[in-house]
Amino acid sequence: MKQLKTKYLNKNLAKLALLLSALGMMSSTVAAAELTGTLAKIKQDGVIVVGHRESSIPFSYYDNQQNVVGYSQDYANLIVDAVKKELNLPNLKVKYLPVTSQNRIPLLQNGTYDFECGSTTNNAARQNQVDFSDTIFIVGTRFLVKNSSGIKDIDDLKGKNVVVTAGTTSEVRLNQINDEKNLGIRIITPKDHGDAFRTLESGRASAFLMDDALLAGERSRARNSDQWVIVGTPLSYEAYGCMLRKDDAQFKTLVDNTIVQAQTSGAAETSFNRWFKQPIPPRGLNMNFDMSSEMKALFAAPNDKALD
Amino acid sequence: MNFDWHVITNNLPFILQSLKISLQITVTAIIFGIIWGTILAVMRLSSVKAVRWIAKAYVNTFRSIPLVMVLLWFYLLVPQLLKTLFDLPSSTDIRLISAMVAFALFEAAYYSEIMRAGIQSISKGQLSAALALGMTRMQGLRLVVIPQAFRIMAPLLLTQGIVLFQDTTLVYVLNLADFFYQSVEIIGNNNGVYNEMILFAAVVYFVICFAASSLVNYVKNRMA
Amino acid sequence: MHIQWNWGIFFEQAPFGDTTYLGWLWLGFQMTVLLSICAGIIAFVVGSFFGILRTLPNRFLARLGAGYVQLFRNIPLIIHLFIWIYVVPDLVPESMRDWLFSLDPSIFIFMMSTIGLGLFTGARVCEQVRTAIQSLPSGQKNAGTALGFTLRQTYLYILLPNAYRRVLPPLTSEALNMFKNSAVASTVGLVELSKQANQLLDHAGAAYESFIAVTIGYVIINIVVMKGMHYIEKVTRLPGALGGK
């Protein structure tokens, strides 16, 4: 994959060289002449492809008009605006590509899309393959269970069915703990959060392990949302970042600056309140999810540290 | 289950759009699949061993790999190649193109088998007559044999088209919103009517395919 | 295209399951084979049953067989699997549902996929069996009647043995199709061979290597099934028949 990417960069470098000579003749702006990586690709193609999720409520998902909306999507929109400004292309075409937990990394690497702001955890293993922007959200992985089930923590799940979305860090973590503690948990791994919640709702699983904010999002569209509760001490804390192609310093700087700007100016907090403290599509339910102290600390001092 | 039909009427534009995608893939794959399949069939009857061998290897390879795998190959591993090959502007939806190319190449392997059987069912005398009339072997095939093979095999080619239409549901693995994915995974999921939409999709496919196959049978009986 | 190969990836430890990535592939391979064999048995039994029904003089039974074929031929396989996994548990009585959900989820998914794939393939087997029986010269059936055989005996001792010999070649291609169709079960979460290609892509990032390995897996299955079916064809061939001993 790495080679593939370099090849694709080389190709773009060659095109860039052409562009440079053209620009040289026109003696255009200096900033545009220094474009590399993703920014150069976007400029050359005249289109930016934004990866998004289909059911990561309330981060990145479809509303009733099938527009992509959510807390992370707000960041994605800011980043697109910043790119337009940087490249001086106010009419830059924006395309959206739905990705899943399982295909988001290969599709980013092979250039099918340019960046993704969804619910992707920044961790050491993934940093070998992709880069992450500054953190946009911090979650703890916990369990969503039925109110009446009496399940309080992972030890109550011995020998039971637990559902977790395929290709997530939680899937790996649950499998590891299950092996370590010999809990005999039977694990179901559907392809997306929506499928996972349906598995829980239908009774096929006793608990749904996932990032707490996502669990709150899934609960918000349940038929009877008050019969579901989030329980357990977090198995891990995770930092979400926007995902970028590796070694693309120029694009990362632009993305990071945009995020820092949003988080320190109060725009990110407004967005948080919009998605976590007010009624949201598709069902118009309010998640009533309070901002954690970790999130407050993050907004005070933006950074791109992984938490594992 | 008490199903609220408003889910369908409210989302009708999305449903129709997705049905268009299913049909788009089906039609392009049928057209290119039959053309490329016929070429492969002729190649398999060639007098040059290497040509025969290439066509045979192509057909056997595609016939031994599941369609799901072919689609994933084309989506995850060859999009860049496709972009360069067809010189596509970056704004094209690579999933749709990937699906169309994958289906066309995949179905060609099946169409070629049908066409080969059709060509072989034409009596040798036909080709000899064409040669006697001063046609080249290629002209004989193109003007005399293939049109007849085509007529004989028309019902089978059409039936394969119906199978192909059903197979387009497998673009599920590309998250491409064809009729099935749109109805079930997007509309069904977002409105809490997942199971109802699965049954809805089943009924729609049944009606379309049943009507189409009845039509094929009617045509077949008229022709026979 | 320049690819940096890393075939060593298969011998690296997988993130869970106490095995290597090759171990994951092997598990997926076994699942594909097991699913196909179990579904194949269902397809053969159910397909034969309805195929015979369709040739019987009783019109109602013949209609029943035709209905089965129409239902399974005109709805895509993926929808059949979705119905078995998601809709059926919703429709059955509560006690049955509780039992289904008390099963190990991987067994539940396996069971439902097997039924779905089996019945789907059965519709194709049904058509082959019917065609084979109807293609037999009518003299065979008349001979049975003349000998005083009941309808049951005529089928059992005369028609079916001959029909099944005829049905073997088309069944080979149905068997091959079924192995390929088993990959559709990955969409309902069965961890079979093609699903493992995704798992490896996701956890190991070795796209080309894992896809090539999985593709080779299917080619191997294909070859084995083809050889196996030809062998059965050979040993069941009647002496004196064309191509027989």
pLDDT at A16 over 90: no
Measured in angstroms, the CA of B66 and the nearest CA of chain A are apart by: 19
DSSP B24-70: HHHHHHHHHHHHHHHHHHHHHT-SSHHHHHHHHHHHHHHHHS-HHHH
pLDDT at residue B2 in the model: 62
Specify the pLDDT at position A3.
45
* A14 has a pLDDT exceeding 80: no
In chain C, residues with a C-beta closer than 8 Å to the C-beta of B184 are: 82
Going by pLDDT thresholds of 50, 70 and 90, the confidence category of residue A24 is very low
Q: What is the CA radius of gyration of chain B?
A: 21
Cβ of residue A100 closer than 8 Å to a chain B Cβ? yes
Helix (H, G, I), strand (E, B) or coil at A150: coil
Chains that touch B (3 or more CB pairs under 8 A): A, C
Judged by a CB distance cut-off of 8 A, whether residue A62 touches chain B is yes
Output the six-digit token pair for A12: 């773009």
Question: How far apart (Å, rounded) are the C-alpha atoms in residues A134 and A298?
Answer: 10
Is a pLDDT exceeding 50 seen at residue A5?
no
The band of A85, judged by pLDDT with boundaries at 50, 70 and 90, is: very high
Residues of chain B with pLDDT under 70: 1-2, 80, 83-84, 89-92, 224
Residue A2: pLDDT band (50, 70, 90) is very low
- Of A6, A306, A56, A50, give the one whose Cα is nearest residue A167: A56
A167/C15 Cα distance (integer angstroms): 11
User: pLDDT value at position B103?
Assistant: 97
Cβ-based contacts of A97 with chain B (< 8 Å):
95
| Separation of alpha carbons A192 and A57, rounded Å | 11
SS3 A210: strand
C183 interaction partners in chain B (CB closer than 8 Å):
66-69
- Locate C56 and state its tokens: 């019987």
The answer for residues whose C-beta is within 8 angstroms of residue A66's C-beta and 6 or more apart is B14, B186
Mean pLDDT of the region A14-39: 57
DSSP SS3 for C107 = helix
Q: What pLDDT, on the 0 to 100 scale, is given for residue A110? A: 82
**pLDDT beneath 70, residues of chain C:** 1-3, 240-245
Residues of C in contact with A123 (CB under 8 A): none
**Pairwise CB contact (< 8 Å): A179 & C1:** no
Whether the pLDDT of residue A307 is over 80: the answer is yes
Question: What's C74's DSSP letter?
Answer: S
Report the C-alpha gap between A106 and C207 in whole angstroms. 8
Contact by Cβ (8 Å): A191, A100: yes
Task: Test A194 with B185 for CB contact under 8 angstroms.
Answer: yes
Size of interface A-C (CB pairs under 8 A): 72
**């899934």: which residue's tokens?**
A218
| Distance of alpha carbon A120 from alpha carbon A143, whole angstroms | 18
pLDDT of residue C242: 57
Residue C205 and residue A179: Cβ atoms within 8 Å? Answer: no
Q: For position B224, what pLDDT does the model report?
A: 66
On whether the CB atoms of residues C162 and C216 are closer than 8 A, the answer is no
Tens of pLDDT, residues A217-233: 999 888 788 899 999 99
- Chain A positions in Cβ-Cβ contact with residue B189 (cut-off 8 Å): 55, 194-195, 198
| Contact check, Cβ <8 Å, A99/B175 | yes
Flag if C101 and A190 touch (Cβ within 8 Å): no
pTM attached to this predicted model:
0.90
Structure tokens that stand for C137 in this block: 């010269």
Question: Angle of helix B12-44 relative to helix B49-64, nearest 10 degrees?
Answer: 150
Please write down the long-range contacts of A81-86, taking CB distance under 8 Å and 24 or more positions apart: A82/A254, A82/A255, A82/A257, A82/A258, A83/A39, A83/A42, A83/A48, A83/A254, A86/A31, A86/A39, A86/A254
Q: What's the one-letter identity of residue C103? A: L
Chain A residue with Cα closest to B188:
A194
pLDDT digits 0-9 by tens, A254-273: 999 999 999 999 999 999 99
- Smallest Cβ–Cβ distance between C1 and the set A7, A167, A186 belongs to A7
Give the pLDDT confidence of B16-52 residue by residue, as tens digits: 999 999 999 999 999 999 999 999 999 998 889 999 9
Q: C105: nearest CA in chain A?
A: A188
Length of chain C (residues): 245
Q: How far apart, in whole angstroms, are the C-alpha atoms of residue A179 and residue C8?
A: 25
> Which runs of consecutive H residues, i.e. helices, occur in chain B?
6-10, 12-44, 49-64, 67-72, 79-86, 94-120, 124-132, 137-139, 146-167, 179-180, 189-190, 194-223
- Number of B–C residue contacts, CB under 8 Å: 97
